[in-house]
Amino acid sequence: MRTKIRNARRLVVKVGSALVTNNGAGLDKTALDDWARQIAALRAQGREVLLVSSGSIAAGIQRLGWNKRPHEISKLQAAAAVGQMGLVEAYEEAFSRHGLQTAQILLTHEDLTDRTRYLNARSTLTTLLELGVVPIINENDTVVTDEIKFGDNDTLGALVANLIEADALIILTDQQGLYTADPRRDTDATLISEGRAEDRQYEAMAGGAGSGISKGGMITKIRAAQRAARSGAHTCIASGREHDPLLRLGAGEAVGTLLYASSTPLQARKQWLADHLQLAGDLIIDDGAIAALRSGRSLLPVGVIAVRGDFVRGAAVACRSAAGEEIARGLVNYSAAECRRIARKPSAEIEKLLGYVDEPELIHRDNMVGR
């Protein structure tokens, strides 16, 4: 089973507040340096890594000299804004020692539920990965209110894993992994080595957060594993305080708890697309495009003969033959008006025709499911 992590090419690593801030004592730069070293080594093995890091609120509270976590949301948001500065600065410094550039990404729930923003976030992240940059992701605490908060970064880690179709989500925390009960409360609790992410028995074992500075606890990690599994990503929960947890997991060592997904990323994505798509329009495609789609390739504007309906970037549309047969469906990268302007044209002309280029494909094969 651990070969699943050894073979993972694209990984999301999530580190929690307790680890990042050494239980609220301020940013633990030694720990940050250590993760940066391990992530640089994983990158050198040809893997792509994104880091979801908590710690802005805890770091801000410490920077502002407050001795306890405030209750007012606006004060927490202010602390997050102050702390985030220090957080990204520390990561930038740590990764630059290994010749790696970093990028700050702040996301809200709405960014990942709105189709257009979803595609924008996805293309920014994949472009950063192509450029060899390590994205450092956190929740955008400045603009969130209760209803649209992820609420914890375990959920954010899983949504990012879904967004960029990661092979694995590694959650580093202050325990060795998932125990049969909260080890802070039950000294007889034993470590679970592995199981199916979807197995409901784990929810009953998991309790809330272990310290005043963390939010989620183990239950949000179990739910994150269930969510990550929906796009075929396997989740590992392991201690960030151990020696080289990321490298050992990458080498296939049985560290922490592995909660594996039962379906492959491709099956999971196709299932998601098949279940979720409410069609907003049609792209009528020529015989060349039909052949391309049937052999699993992306749809390019040059193969589109006509556009029906009125839709926005990110909407679900059907790709049909001139006779009306549905060949595939997927999430379109351009609005209906833009599609009409670039239909029948080579992708190289998109910029000239629209004044900008989002993607060379009208529908990327990763966002498409054949009928």
Ligand X SMILES: Nc1ncnc2c1ncn2[C@@H]1O[C@H](COP(=O)(O)OP(=O)(O)O)[C@@H](O)[C@H]1O
Ligand Y SMILES: N[C@@H](CCC(=O)OP(=O)(O)O)C(=O)O
Contacting positions for ligand X (CB under 6 A): 16-19, 173-175, 178-179, 181-184, 205-207, 209-211, 214-218
Which of residues 192 and 300 has its CB atom nearest to ligand X in the complex? 192
Residue 201: count other Cβ atoms within 10 Å of its Cβ: 11
Which of ligand Y, ligand X, none has residue 358 at its interface (CB below 5 to 8 Å by kind)?
Answer: none
What order of strands is seen across the sheet that includes strand 281-285? Answer: 304-309, 281-285, 316-320, 326-331, 368-370
Residue 277 binds which of ligand Y, ligand X, none (CB < 5-8 A, kind-dependent): none
The neighbour count for residue 204, using CB atoms within 10 Å, is: 11
DSSP state of 146: G
Distance in Å, CB of 209 to ligand Y, minimum: 6
Is 1 within 8 Å of 260 (Cβ atoms)? yes
Q: Which does 34 bind (CB under 5 to 8 A by kind): ligand X, ligand Y, none?
A: none
**In the complex, least distance from residue 70 CB atom to ligand Y, rounded to whole angstroms:** 13
State the binding partner of 80 from ligand X, ligand Y, none, CB within 5 to 8 A by kind: ligand Y
Least gap, CB of 354 to ligand Y (angstroms): 36
Q: Which does 57 bind (CB under 5 to 8 A by kind): ligand X, ligand Y, none?
A: ligand Y
Nearest 5 degrees, angle CA 279-CA 362-CA 298? Answer: 100
State how far the Cα of 235 lies from the Cα of 33, in Å rounded to an integer.
23
Cβ closest to ligand X, residue 79 vs residue 119: 79
Question: In terms of CB distance, is 133 or 181 closer to ligand X?
Answer: 181
Q: What SS3 state is found at 316? A: strand
Amino acid (one-letter) located at 303: G
Q: Which of 54, 61, 51, 60 is nearest to 17 (CA)?
A: 54
Shortest approach of ligand X to residue 170 CB, angstroms?
12
Question: Is the CB of 24 or the CB of 330 nearer to ligand Y?
Answer: 24
User: Measured from the CB atom, is 210 or 232 closer to ligand X?
Assistant: 210
Query: In the structure encoding, which two tokens stand for residue 282, read together?
Result: 């049609």
Residues that bind ligand Y (CB under 6 A): 16-17, 54-58, 80, 138-139, 141, 152-153, 214-216
Which partner from the list ligand X, ligand Y, none does 182 bind, CB cut-off 5 to 8 Å by kind?
ligand X
Closest CA to 4 of 180, 270, 265, 267: 265
CA triplet 249, 253, 254: central angle to 5 degrees?
100
Q: Whose Cβ is closer to ligand Y: residue 17's or residue 367's?
A: 17
